[in-house]
Amino acid sequence: MTRKERRQEQAREEILDAARQVLLDRGLAGFTLAAVARELQLTKAALYYYFASKEVLVFEIVYRDLHAHAEVVGDAVDATTSGAAALEALIRSSSGHYGDRKDQLRLAYLVPQVGGATSPRFTPEMLQRVRPFNDRMYGAVAQRIRRDQEAGRVPEGVDGRRLAFLAHTSVIGMLTVEGLVEVADDAPLIHSREAMVDELVRTFRARLAPSP
């Protein structure tokens, strides 16, 4: 990478950091390229050099957060050798990654859904860039479950990729409710995060147990 390319990449990351904060502070309704430009003390023309539209900028914020999560989960799953251990790694790494990053969770999974008319419209090309993250997380788990099935350790009727998807979305749902309680300044949840994660692990591991 040339010096110019490094400077451009650094500028791009600085814009994404600032845009992320504007999005968190103002929501989609108040999120504009002009607001981001003011935050960075840039002209809109300078901002357009890096991001052609509000939709592109929002997508890149979401993409960066999803990529970080996929890498954390993928690395955790790569360290396992069985389907059950891979499912557990997916659950625990997802909880660990987003548990103390609720803002990142909201940006990646909630903000694009709740903006109404202001919600960004992601193009098929944008979505195509996200799909490899599914393989990084779900595909690796499914491969291990399939190997266990071939060895007779897991029932044939189990769909490994679907199970991985459900494990992931279960963690996202759990943390979303936890975040809702926190934002409402309500009493802490009766069940601790650690206890809920342990319960999820037991539940999904049980699905892979051989039939009696």
pLDDT in tens, 47-82: 888 998 888 998 999 899 999 999 999 999 999 999
Q: Is the pLDDT of residue 119 over 70?
A: no
Q: Is the pLDDT of residue 212 over 70?
A: no
pLDDT at 175 (0 to 100)? 94
Min mean pLDDT across 16-20, 25-29, 94-98, 144-148 is at: 25-29
Q: Which residues of 31-57 are buried (b: 16+ CB within 10 A; e: fewer)?
A: bbbebbbeebebeeeebeebbeebebb
d(CA 171, CA 91) in angstroms, rounded, equals 6
Tell me the mean pLDDT in the region 27-31: 82
pTM of the entire structure? 0.88
Give me the domains of the chain, ranges plus CATH numbers: 1-52 (1.10.10.60), 61-207 (1.10.357.10)
